[in-house]
Amino acid sequence: MREILTKIIIPEGEFEVSALKFDMSDKPYFAEFYSMWRKLCDESSKIGGTRQINTPEAMSEGILCMLTGAIKVLDKEPKLPSNVVSSFDCYSPVKKTRIQVKASANLTSPTSFGPRSQWDEIFLMDFVVDGKFNGDFRVYQLTSSLIDSVMINKTTNFIDYQKTGKRPRFSIYKKIILPNNIQPIFRDNLFE
């Protein structure tokens, strides 16, 4: 991984930012990161932890950047001005798109979205493949229209729920992936 200065174009304008760029030579780094996360989960369980430690966003976002050529915009100079309301995890310099990355170590658990979350592309990364944590992962690309129409409760869909200022929460896997038979766009193992 290397830090770069680059320009990005988002709805609020064009900005020069500091960002991290990844490539496939970073895979051993992410394999080590994954191993540390799994060790932390195991240690937590030994002292009474009752659930998985959340998938580290730095890991999932970095891996997605490594696979797609996207970059991770950093919160350091030069950075996005405070009046920018775009919320995104990564940025595709080729497509000029804002990318949201969601990750899961338990596909049936709900994923939380911010009340002002915005993106041009959205992905789900699944780190528990066939019920095992062995370095396997899958990446699913989702469409905004499928997310927007998800019913958060009996009367309110995702978009209307966001408008209330609340954080929509639902299982992407149960409400979108399974019913729409969405297949992964990437399958890999960090140790291979």
- In this predicted structure, the answer to whether residue 114 has a pLDDT above a threshold of 90 is no
Burial of 150 (C-beta count, 10 Å sphere; 0-12/13-18/19+):
middle
The residues facing 123 across adjacent strands are 101, 141
**Parent domain of 38:** 2-189
- In this predicted structure, the answer to whether residue 49 has a pLDDT above a threshold of 80 is no
Number of domains the chain contains: 1
Distance CA 31, CA 37 (A): 10
Name the residue with higher pLDDT: 116 or 166: 166
What mean pLDDT is predicted for residues 3-16? 94
Burial of 101 (C-beta count, 10 Å sphere; 0-12/13-18/19+):
buried
- How does residue 117 score in pLDDT terms, banded at 50, 70 and 90? confident
- In this predicted structure, the answer to whether residue 86 has a pLDDT above a threshold of 80 is no
What mean pLDDT is predicted for residues 66-75? 95
Could you tell me the end-to-end alpha-carbon distance of the chain, in angstroms, rounded to an integer? 19
Distance CA 59, CA 44 (A): 19
Copy the structure tokens of residue 164.
Answer: 């209330």
pTM: 0.92
